[in-house]
Amino acid sequence: MAYSDKVVDHYNNPRNVGSMDKARSDVGTGMVGAPECGDVMKLQIQVNAATGIIEDAKFKTFGCGSAIASSSLATEWLKGKSVDEALEIKNTDIVNELALPPVKIHCSVLAEDAIKAAINDYKTKQGAPAPAETASH
Amino acid sequence: MSKPIYFDNHATTPVDPRVLEAMLPYFTEHFGNAASRNHAYGWAAEDAVEKGRKQIAALIGANSKEIVFTSGATESNNLAIKGVAEMYAEKGNHIITAATEHKAVLDTCKHLEKKGCRITYLPLKGDGLIDLDMLRDAITDKTILISIMYANNEIGVIQPVKEIGKIAKERGVLFHSDAVQACGKIPVNVAEDGIDLLSITGHKLYGPKGVGALYVRRKNPRVQLTAQMDGGGHERGMRSGTLNVPGIVGLGAACEIAQREMPEESARLRALRDKLRATLEANLEEVYINGTMEHRLPNNLNMSFAYVEGESLLMGINDIAVSSGSACTSATLEPSYVLKALGLGDDLAHTSIRFGLGRFNTEAEVDYVAQKMIDVVNKLRELSPLWEMFKDGVDLSKVQWTAH
């Protein structure tokens, strides 16, 4: 399968790889997917509680090149956004940006789920009533 | 070293230059139809076909009269299984095969199932071998055929063919073996192995694509087949169609070279394969061999690299041609059914790579591939949340995943 230049670039130079201390109250962690399905994404955000702005984002992904690229791109987009703006990121934005073929759309869906799970985790820590976990699809 | 390095010799092999040289005159000056009995063009073609038949027969310990030419092993498998099912329908309708057969066998069996045949798909043991007791128990008075491959295309595991042949003989059941991966790589002998039907193809042993053969036993017992292709009655009525003379010349030449060079070549490939394995195991933790190493083709290595997904691994080694059991690399998005049949979890199937070494690979290539694999696996593990959890001592089997 041929990959788009952007997927190859994110694969070769993944942005924001790493882990944050998930015990911290200003860090939200989202982990979605399953090893049996061939992809697991862990996405973390660090939020400035005063401004509500995501100041840092990190990821680690087990999955194909498109899954790695989707989560790498997601961390780029998250930085500097408010939590509410971050919730606006749609999987179709990722599909368009990375030119993902139809068989790889699930990678972008997983990235969107990871963003939502991370924000959900952060909000829960902040004491906001969190909606039920609905990462499965 | 020319790139990409080709380590996918179970998928196909390049044509040996000596094979190509033998074929070329049969495209041009000796272009005759082997069925033309009354002029020199036909005689030249027929002579070439009969020489090819002898070369193939010699490789598998058969008589040249027992070789039927086909378009490849898919057709050979179809002809063997459907041909027996139709010809022996009055005797019975039960066929025994194994879960890890090639799709050309499995889908042929599924087709027959729809037409009223009963098929037993034997499961495999964790080492990739069939259980001979299960085979014995599966045979009924309606069983007409056992179809078990000689060596597997993904894990290279060699089945106990001689024992299967013995069991088949004792119970009066025909034995077909898809031997495309074994022929030319390890000694195959239809007499000693008790094989009644055997499929072979050109392009897995440095011959051309589009030509293959089916061995059909003529004595003890005399196997009969219902033809699947109607026409001019070529190949003793079993397979009509003008013979692919250049292809047959190529297949024959490839068999002769393989037979002559097998002892030396298999020792060389085994040493290269073992070096590849040893280097990977010495430098990477959490790597697993799929299938037994004890009964295995000398040129095959199938390994899982835990916590690294197969397709991303292939992307990182894009100057090396190998294949993966990962779902993402298959059209069906299902991980390899062969690895699953060994009882491997989907997670390990997703992380597997098949290395198939061949005649034209060198030690320098093995060294390059091993180092590249080590570098890319380490890089991707740095990226892998599963690797991080494993290193933190998390039991991944106890984690609640959000399956999708």
For B285-315, write each residue's pLDDT tens digit.
999 999 999 999 999 999 999 999 988 999 9
Residue B358 burial by Cβ neighbours in a 10 Å radius (0-12, 13-18, 19+): buried
Q: Give the HSE-up count for residue A102: Cα atoms under 13 Å, Cβ half-sphere.
A: 1
For the segment B125-153, the average pLDDT, to the nearest whole number, is 98
How close, in Å, is residue B347 to chain A by CA atoms?
4
Cα(B323)–Cα(B312) distance, integer angstroms: 12
pLDDT tens-digit profile of B173-196? 999 999 999 999 999 999 999 999
How much is the pLDDT for A26? Answer: 95
Name the nearest CA neighbour of B47 among B245, B257, B260, B250: B245
How much is the pLDDT for B71? Answer: 98
How much is the pLDDT for B403? Answer: 63
Q: From start to end of B345-404, where are the E strands?
A: 352-356
For the segment B121-136, the average pLDDT, to the nearest whole number, is 97
Q: Name the residue with tokens 């491997």.
A: B344
Q: Cβ separation of B307 and A38 shorter than 8 Å?
A: no
Test mutation, A5, A17, A42, A64, chain B, max B CBs within 10 A: A64
Share of chain B above pLDDT 70, in %: 98
Residue B245 pLDDT grade (very low, low, confident, very high; cuts 50, 70, 90) = very high
Q: Cβ separation of A31 and B345 shorter than 8 Å?
A: no
Q: In the structure encoding, which two tokens stand for residue B35, read together?
A: 């069925």
How much is the pLDDT for B325? Answer: 76
How much is the pLDDT for B1? Answer: 86
Amino acid at A72: S
B17's CB contacts (< 8 A; 6+ apart) are none
Name the nearest CA neighbour of B252 among B13, B63, B54, B41: B54
pLDDT tens-digit profile of A72-96? 999 999 999 999 999 999 999 999 9
How much is the pLDDT for A37? Answer: 82
Catalytic residue set of A: 37, 107
With CA atoms as reference, the chain B residue closest to A43 would be B385
Mean confidence (pLDDT) of chain B: 95
Q: In the structure encoding, which two tokens stand for residue B220, read together?
A: 């003890």
Contact B375, B388 (CB under 8 A): no
How much is the pLDDT for B315? Answer: 92
Averages of pLDDT over runs of 10 residues in chain A (137 residues) are 89 96 95 90 95 96 95 97 96 96 93 96 82 49
Least confident of A127-136, B66-75, B328-337, B365-374: A127-136
**Residues in chain A, how many?**
137
C-alpha distance from residue B332 to each of A123, B153, B160, B274, B328 (Å): 39, 18, 31, 32, 8
Q: From start to end of B124-248, where are the E strands?
A: 143-147, 174-178, 197-201, 212-216
Cα(A70)–Cα(A80) distance, integer angstroms: 18
Chain B residues whose CB is inside 8 A of the A63 CB are 309, 312
Cα(A106)–Cα(A100) distance, integer angstroms: 10
Chain A residues whose CB is inside 8 A of the B312 CB are 11, 63-65, 67-68
A40's CB contacts (< 8 A; 6+ apart) are A31, A32, A33, A34, A61, A62, A63, B385, B386, B401
Q: In the structure encoding, which two tokens stand for residue B250, read together?
A: 């190529």
The answer, yes or no, to whether residue B210 has pLDDT greater than 70, is: yes
Residue A57, helix vs strand vs coil: strand
For the segment B388-403, the average pLDDT, to the nearest whole number, is 87
Least confident of A1-15, B86-100, B301-315, B339-353: B339-353
Q: From start to end of B154-228, where are the E strands?
A: 174-178, 197-201, 212-216
Chain A residues whose CB is inside 8 A of the B388 CB are 19, 42, 60
Write phi, then psi, for B51 (nearest 5 degrees).
-65, -45
Q: How many CB atoms lie within 10 A of CB B215?
A: 29
Residue B339 burial by Cβ neighbours in a 10 Å radius (0-12, 13-18, 19+): buried
With CA atoms as reference, the chain B residue closest to A3 would be B315
Hey, CA dihedral for B48, B78, B220, B189, is it positive or negative?
positive
Q: Name the residue with tokens 């042929």.
A: B108
Q: In the structure encoding, which two tokens stand for residue A100, read together?
A: 């993902």
How close, in Å, is residue A82 to chain B by CA atoms?
25
The answer, yes or no, to whether residue B38 has pLDDT greater than 50, is: yes
CATH number of B5-9+262-389: 3.90.1150.10
With CA atoms as reference, the chain B residue closest to A66 would be B312
How much is the pLDDT for A136? Answer: 45
Name the nearest CA neighbour of B55 among B179, B151, B183, B178: B183
Rg of chain B on CA atoms, in Å = 22
Contact B306, B348 (CB under 8 A): yes
- Which of A36, A42, A133 is opposite residue B385, by nearest beta carbon? A42
Cα(B301)–Cα(B290) distance, integer angstroms: 8
Parse chain A into domains and list their residue ranges: 5-125
Q: Cβ separation of A64 and B328 shorter than 8 Å?
A: yes
C-alpha distance from residue B337 to each of A63, B32, B99, B124, B327 (Å): 19, 44, 8, 11, 10
- What ipTM was estimated for this complex? 0.90
Hey, CA dihedral for B345, B348, B350, B354, is it positive or negative?
negative
pTM for the structure as a whole: 0.91
For the segment B50-60, the average pLDDT, to the nearest whole number, is 98
Test mutation, B304, B307, B308, B312, chain A, max A CBs within 10 A: B312
B394's CB contacts (< 8 A; 6+ apart) are none
CATH number of B17-257: 3.40.640.10
How much is the pLDDT for B148? Answer: 98
Cα(A35)–Cα(B349) distance, integer angstroms: 10
Q: Which CATH number fits domain A5-125: 3.60.21.10, 3.40.50.150, 3.90.1010.10, 3.10.580.10?
A: 3.90.1010.10
Residue B228 pLDDT grade (very low, low, confident, very high; cuts 50, 70, 90) = very high
Residue B333 pLDDT grade (very low, low, confident, very high; cuts 50, 70, 90) = low
At residue B106's C-alpha, the angle toward residues B103 and B112, to 5°, is: 135
For the segment B49-55, the average pLDDT, to the nearest whole number, is 98
A interface residues, B as partner, C-beta within 8 Å: 3, 8, 11, 14, 17, 19, 31-42, 60-65, 67-68, 103, 106, 109-110, 113, 133, 135-137
The answer, yes or no, to whether residue B319 has pLDDT greater than 60, is: yes
The answer, yes or no, to whether residue B23 has pLDDT greater than 50, is: yes
Contact A28, A121 (CB under 8 A): yes
Dihedral angle of Cα B111, B113, B116, B121, to the nearest 10 degrees: 150
